[in-house]
Structure formats: structure tokens, C-alpha cells
Amino acid sequence: MMKQRTWFDRVFSLGHPVDAFPEILERLRGTPARLEERVAHVGSTVGTRRIDEAWSIHQQVGHLCDLETLWTGRLNDLLIGAERLGAADLKNEATQSAGHDDVEMCVLLLRFRRLRADLVRLLEGLEEGDLARTALHPRLEQPMSTVDLFFFVAEHDDHHLASITRLLTGADR
């Protein structure tokens, strides 16, 4: 099996045009359905299994829930004209301590669907000028527009969906 890059190893191409936003928004809107399709059938034995030090499937889904407040906060940073986006907890302490393995998968999936729907509603209300606003990303040390931020979020979603697929593939062997 191919070794997975960590999220922090990723390099991002930024500078997406405002007119790329509708496609990015569709990716964000579709993540709950793709996630549900992938894991709704997963029982707790497989869902809470960890391979090496990787998070379990439950933890991966819970982590996506945990980060919705970060994405909303960063959107607010952009809308108020902040110079820097709010920093993420790079140790993921919220996910580490949340006990996601003790939560039923259906509860995690419903939570993510609700949180993502709230974020999508906010994004649907943005004006073109809002999409072009920029602020410095604290880890990447690059200016990031609203469009770039949500491209980054869509990439993060896909990173965790790929991680879940790897866990399912490893668990099926």
C-alpha cells in the first residue's frame, strides 16, 4: 500500500479566480454525501480500529466536525478585514480528546451534515467582493483569498476521505 502524505506535507497552489468558487462550493456541499456513502455501513469494530498511529474512521469523521468552527472563524476573519486568519490547533487537541470513537457513526455523520450545511449557507450568501478578500494564512505564510480558503477546505475534506478509504482497505484485508 502506498504511504500517505501527511496534511502538513501538502503544498497548495493559491490564487484561484473568483469564478472558480461555484465548483469549490459544490465540492464542499457534496462532502457529507460522499462521506456518508463511504462510512454509513461501517460497524464500530472497523470504525474504531486504528492502523499504526493513524486516527480511526470515527476520529477522521469527528475531526471534520471539529474543524467546521475553524473554517467559519476564518471566513469571519476575511469578512472583517483581518490581516491574518485564525490559527489552527496544529496538535489537533480537540480531536485527540473528543472521544469520537465512543460516538455512533450515524451521530457523527448527522453532526457533520448539519455543520457543513450551516457553512454552505454562509458561503452561498457571499458577494463577489467577499470572495476576493485576502488574509495571511498563519501556517503557510501566504495570502489566501476566500476562494483559496475554501479550496483548501475542499482539499482537506478529500485528504480525510482518502485516509478513510485507506483505513477501509487495510481493514478489509
What is the CATH classification number for the domain harbouring 89? 1.20.120.450
Q: Is residue 119 part of a domain?
A: yes
Residue 171 has pLDDT above 60, yes or no: no
Classify residue 156: in a domain, yes or no.
yes
Selected residue with higher pLDDT from 39 and 169: 39
59 in a structural domain: yes
> Domain containing 70: what range?
54-172
pLDDT of the residue at 173? 43
Is 29 domain-assigned? no
* pLDDT tens sequence across 111-147: 999 999 999 999 999 999 999 999 999 999 999 999 9
Q: Report which DSSP code applies to 82.
A: -
In a domain, 134, yes or no: yes
Mean pLDDT, all residues of the chain: 91
In a domain, 41, yes or no: no
* Spatial distance between the Cα atoms of 145 and 40, rounded to a whole number of angstroms: 34
pTM for this prediction: 0.91
Q: How far apart are the first and last CA of the chain?
A: 11
pLDDT at residue 91, as a whole number: 85
User: What is the tens place of the pLDDT at every residue in 28-75?
Assistant: 999 999 999 999 898 888 989 888 888 999 999 999 999 999 999 999
Q: Cβ atoms within 10 A of the Cβ of 83, count? A: 9
Domain tally, the chain = 1
The Cα–Cα gap between 103 and 58 comes to: 8
